[in-house]
Amino acid sequence: MNWTIRKADDDAKKFRELKFIYVWAVISAIVMGAVFRNAVFPLLGLVVLFVSSSEFFLGKKYSLDEKVAKSGANEITWPLVKSVHINENQIYLSPFEAESKLDAFRGVKLNIQNVSKESVLEYVRQHVGKDVRFLGE
């Protein structure tokens, strides 16, 4: 099961604002490159800007397969999942049985805005162990 969430599709106002910032940044980079006769730092600034906001435009990929659950670069194998936290637009797969301060660093968040919550939950239930706790249902 695979899906991609693009925030640019959901927030047209922010998309317009970022396009304006990009145009302004490109024009500024051209001017700065011409003024200082050096294109390295303006181009580096543009690369940093594009990379930092790439998830907004390109989207984040989510994947569930027989062995792992992936959210972008984060992944967790099914045997490591000890609890599943269910929210309105998100399912969080945690390696801890109870809520922990380390949850933000260890688990995998699955954004389910544009997919069927029931189908994702059914897939998760089929692949996690029987002793896994489902919280927030």
pLDDT by residue for the chain (137 residues), tens only, comes to 888 888 777 778 888 888 899 899 999 999 988 888 888 888 898 899 889 888 888 888 999 999 999 998 899 999 999 999 998 889 999 998 888 788 778 889 999 888 888 999 999 999 998 888 888 86
Sheet containing 60-64: which strands, arranged edge to edge?
Answer: 2-5, 60-64, 68-71, 74-77
- CA distances to 10, 40, 126 from 45, in Å: 27, 9, 46
In the prediction, which pLDDT does 67 show? 93
pTM above 0.75, yes or no: no
What pLDDT score was predicted for residue 82? 92
